Amino acid sequence: MYGQELAAADTAFFYSLGFDALRSVDVSDAEQPTDLIDLNGLGLAAATGGEFNLVLDGGTLEHCFHLPNAMRNIVEATAIDGLIVHQSPTNNYVEHGFFQFSPTFFSDYYQANGFEVMEAKIFCHTKNVHGDPWRHLN
């Protein structure tokens, strides 16, 4: 039941923002994705049938063993002028996924591949943060 409730909440959230279609991918059907796809292999765009205006990585990439293929899948699934948003843990998340990303990984990757990086931020969630927990990288 958890997967169905989560899928319904995700769908309602994105529809409330004005999206008229939503696709979700996962390697397992536990969270009830619309598409079962292993991002370690290639072919996300072909399997989902298109290029998307928004590709949201809400904490998946660090769990993909073959990072180059996963990044290529994200890029190929994004429409020209589309947006890619990553929400990934940075350093010090020991035993969480396969990778810990340097704060500059995404900016450097996309700039090297001809993308415009619109914004990059780090959210610091510690007990001692006073004021704005967001740290701007660009």
Considering the entire predicted model, what is its pTM? 0.84
Single out the residue of 37, 32, 39 nearest to residue 9, CA to CA. 32
- Which value, to the nearest 10 degrees, does the dihedral of the CA atoms of residues 73, 76, 82, 84 take? 20
Instruction: Give residue 111's pLDDT.
Output: 94
Using DSSP, state whether 122 is helix, strand or coil: strand
Single out the residue of 75, 80, 73, 83 nearest to residue 44, CA to CA. 73
User: Position 7: which residue type?
Assistant: A
Instruction: Give residue 10's pLDDT.
Output: 81
Helical H segments across 17-120, by residue range = 44-48, 67-77, 105-112
Single out the residue of 70, 41, 40 nearest to residue 55, CA to CA. 70
- Residue 16 CA to residue 89 CA, distance in Å, equals 27
What is the chain's pLDDT, residue by residue, as a tens digit (138 residues)? 455 666 678 888 999 999 988 899 999 998 888 899 999 999 999 999 878 999 999 989 999 999 999 999 999 999 999 999 999 888 777 778 898 888 789 999 999 999 999 988 887 766 665 667 666 766
Q: Are 105 and 113 in contact (CB under 8 A)?
A: no
Instruction: Give residue 36's pLDDT.
Output: 95
Count H helices and E strands in the chain, helices first. 4, 6
- Residue 4 CA to residue 24 CA, distance in Å, equals 13
Domain boundaries, the chain: 37-97
